[in-house]
A and B are shown apart, each in its own frame.
Chain A
Amino acid sequence: MKINSLTIGEVGQGLVDKDFSAKELTQNFIDQIKNKDESIHSYLATNFDIALSAAARVDTLIDNGEKLGKLAGVPAAIKDVIVTKDLTTTASSKILENFIPPYNATVVSKLEEEHAIILGKNNSDEFAMGSSNENSAYEKTVNPVDPTRVPGGSSGGSAAAVAADMAVFSLASDTGGSIRQPAALCGVVGLKPTYGRVSRFGLIAMASSLDQIGPITHNVEDAAIVLESIAGDDIYDDTTVANKPADFTTDLKKDIKGTKVGIVKEYFGEGLDEGSKKAVEDTIKKLEELGCDIEEVNLPHSEYALAVYYIVMPAEVSTNLARFDGIRFGKSRDFFGDEVKKRIILGTFVLSSGYQDKFFAKANLARQLIRDDFDMAFEKVDVLVGPTSPTVAWKIGEKVDDPLKMYLSDIYTVSVNLAGNPAISIPCGIDQDMPVGFQIIGKHFEEAKLLQVAHNLEGALKA
């Protein structure tokens, strides 16, 4: 048995059946990281000793017949923009080199409460700013499917770690597509929950009104299990929403006959690669076979999404990153990388007096129109579908000198962050020997429906 590619459910079964101990499992993942990560570069910091002792504690719990958490013994990885107590957290930036946080992010505490085993911290673009992982100040993660290609970004390390069986799942963050796009490019599942569903406390903020933490997993069921473990109101995050249904697993396997699926017309225009387009269209046929009612839907303000995003996001970046002043922690601001500096300058500009009305205020008006588009579409359908990314993973270095081309790789994902809806990317086919991602977008706080559609579709695609 290849225990590195086990799902969460299989890990749980294996532990109960004593096919392996939590410690053996963890050791297996540690070995995998030691063997493989020298070429993939998905981890920036590892936590092996602590992981092994946490696994030993899970084994004791099992031996004593005590109650186990939902993620008991499951080896996991955390994106380096999420703070971990006593474990180096740098946001892949030199400005935070060697920074050891004195506290845990809420999601990390929740994983620990569910007895997950934290293996280490994943590489990403610096402060999550990028679409290829090439903006990391430390190393360039490569795509495990083809090491000459990028893994996507900003959560490239997180997607690569799962794709290369170096973690059962990883937690990442998505501000404009940073979970879904690398999941698509590496051929794994990536879920961005509804804004307010998962606490951001301890997530090093990029753009506070857009950021959301979510899982990258081998399959949809694992995404549902992890989301159940990390979701919920948090007294440390004012923007989390209380009293929302948070059962994502009960109805997961129910069939989706009669589900109304909207194809986003605007996501199939110029810029979408033919191969990706074909894979996505074939997948929509599968939905039809599963009994869904398919119709075309318009999101008419989609063309403004990227422009709005590149005003709202840098505006928030410029102030969120002001705390890195080199006084209480970290180094001086010279240590920010070029992409980060660029966004701080851009954001400072759009908020400046005389320009704020022209740019920031206008962008917020347009953001409302984009939200209204989604609300109107969701009056007619249950989920929206389309491609996650216009292309499969590209060659390392290919878009480094063309920022606009790089930014365009997020064209199908940013709207969702502006509107706050949940969305998932699942692998749906192959183009140029690389995985293609299929995006499903749900109504606010209706991740259960989203996951149900994704799970059914995943089954049909594998069949």
Chain B
Amino acid sequence: MIWDMVIGLEIHVELATESKMFCRCSARYFGSAPNTHTCPVCLALPGALPVPNEKAIEYTAKIGLAFESEIPTISKFDRKNYFYPDLPKGYQISQFDLPVAVGGAIEVGERKVKLNRVHLEEDTGKLMHAGGETLIDFNRSGVPLVEIVSEPDMTTAEEARAYAQKVQQTVRYLGVSDADMEKGSLRVDANISLKPEGSETLGTKVEIKNLNSFRSLFRAIEHERDRQRTALEKGEKIVQETRGWDEALGKTVSQRSKEEAHDYRYFPEPDLLPLGLDPNKIDELKSTLPELGGAKLARFCSEYQLSEYDAEILARDVTLADYFEEAVRVGSDHEVSAKQIANEIINRKVDIAEVLPAALIESIISGRKTLTLGEGELEKVIAEVLIDNEGAVADFKKGKENALMFLVGQVMRKFPEKIDATTLKEKIERELNKTA
């Protein structure tokens, strides 16, 4: 039988606000010593009360607006009750029936993937297991966290990955989160089910929690599809459950069945007043939204006559897009075309952190060549490096993203000139996946 896969994603994004969601502790905890960003509120000491961070609410509304969601004038917080050592209050302040943003859609390629909601909540602390002991770091406790929930509206692992990348790109364009998966500021849960081809009824879904790279997301979905298909074809029933992704084993493993599922006993948070979102304020936010990735791509094509391929590379990241346009501005005074600049940036692997736009234009004018490599030469060096560094290759396959950066460094060393790290990274990743 042919089976259709149905995928829905829940993406958590940590907001890049100065302070935490309900207290005045700094939210910029990454790299700080444990428990140095804490106070009675985020430690849930007796008597402490939450006060909402206005900026976080604004950021959440912006995300909703970027994804065409409706922003209702009334929203509220609720308590989600469960016990876990990293959750100091014994409940998480979240949103149940009145989220900040409702509905919406995210453009992924030719399609629009439907959104269910965008809501605001607080992050938990972090458990660290060492030497048979478990320690808790509450620096992350209370950091504002936005959850972007799609409808079950995707059908392939490629599409899900592209959707997640679009979310990352957009929140970065908005400047509301660094959305760095390695740091855990963007995390993905995937809901997956299969149904007979063409069937209207959804099958039983399985949730895969905490996918911390696009690669894991892709692989986990593919694996889970195969697992469910094999089970269904044997006539087994899919159990509704939560599974985790084991990157090393390359498979999903059961964590919790429906019977063990929490009853979160949601109810309105009595310590916080309902949020009244002023429609004028929403209009103002809407009018001040920056140009987002899709629009920028389209404009790059039409305004600068770039190929879709080039425009996509340049618009993928807002810093690169801004760099390109700044160079175009400088170039227009010197009869250097946008196309030439795009070519220079993309093909000659310009390091935009090092080379100022004006310097780039200068180098184009002077005809000075930055490094150009024959395709074959680079590929050859990559192959050598992968053979020489078996350990790092194995680490990468276990899911250690750092190993990839190590390999990039090793390849770079073999060349006296600078090579664009992003392009190189992609090439190496492609090679590694070939051998996976």
Binding site for B on A (CB under 8 A): 82-83, 89, 91, 96, 99, 101-103, 105, 200-205, 207-209, 235-239, 315-316, 318-319, 321-325, 327-329, 348, 351-353, 356, 360
Contacts and interface: CB of A to CB of B under 8 A. Distances in A.
B44 interface: yes
Interface stretch (B83-91, B234-242, B282-290): B83-91
Contacts of A328: 43-45, 88
Contacts of B46: 83, 89, 91, 96, 99, 101, 204, 323-324, 329
A322 B81 contact: yes
Contact of B265 (A323, A325, A353): A353
Contact of B48 (A201, A235, A319): A201
B40 A103 contact: yes
15 contacts: A83-B45, A91-B46, A102-B45, A105-B47, A239-B272, A239-B273, A319-B91, A322-B83, A322-B91, A323-B46, A325-B83, A327-B85, A328-B43, A353-B263, A356-B265
A15 to B, nearest CB: 32
Q: Is the interface of A mostly helix, strand, loop or mixed?
A: loop
B267 A315 contact: yes
Nearest to B89: A323
Interface stretch (B49-57, B195-203, B204-212, B370-378): B49-57
A201 B47 contact: yes
Given A96-B46, A202-B48, A321-B90, 11 more contacts: A89-B46, A208-B271, A236-B51, A238-B273, A316-B270, A327-B85, A327-B88, A328-B45, A353-B265, A356-B267, A360-B267
A321 B47 CA distance: 11
B79 interface: yes
Nearest to A99: B46
Given A102-B40, A327-B85, A204 B265 contact: no
B45 A319 contact: no
Contacts of B272: 238-239
Interface in B67-105: 79, 81, 83, 85, 88-91
Interface residues of B, number: 27
A351 B51 contact: no
A77 to B, nearest CB: 17
Interface in B27-71: 40, 43-52
B383 interface: no
A319 B87 CA distance: 12
Given A101-B45, A201-B48, A351 B267 contact: yes
Q: Lowest 5 A-B CB distances belong to which pairs?
A: A322-B90, A208-B270, A351-B265, A209-B270, A202-B47
A45 B272 CA distance: 32
A238 B265 contact: no
A209 B49 CA distance: 12
B136 interface: yes
A325 B47 CA distance: 15
Nearest to A205: B47
A236 B44 CA distance: 14
Given A96-B46, A102-B45, A237 B51 contact: yes
A105 B48 CA distance: 9
Which of B47, B90, B272 has the most chain A CB atoms closer than 10 A to its own CB? Answer: B47
Which of B50, B89, B90, B136 has the most chain A CB atoms closer than 10 A to its own CB? Answer: B90
A394 to B, nearest CB: 31
Contacts of B49: 200-201, 236-238
A20 to B, nearest CB: 34
A204 B47 contact: yes
B52 A238 contact: yes
Contact of A319 (B52, B79, B136): B79
A347 to B, nearest CB: 9
Contacts of B265: 318-319, 348, 351-353, 356
Nearest to B46: A204
Contacts of A208: 270-271
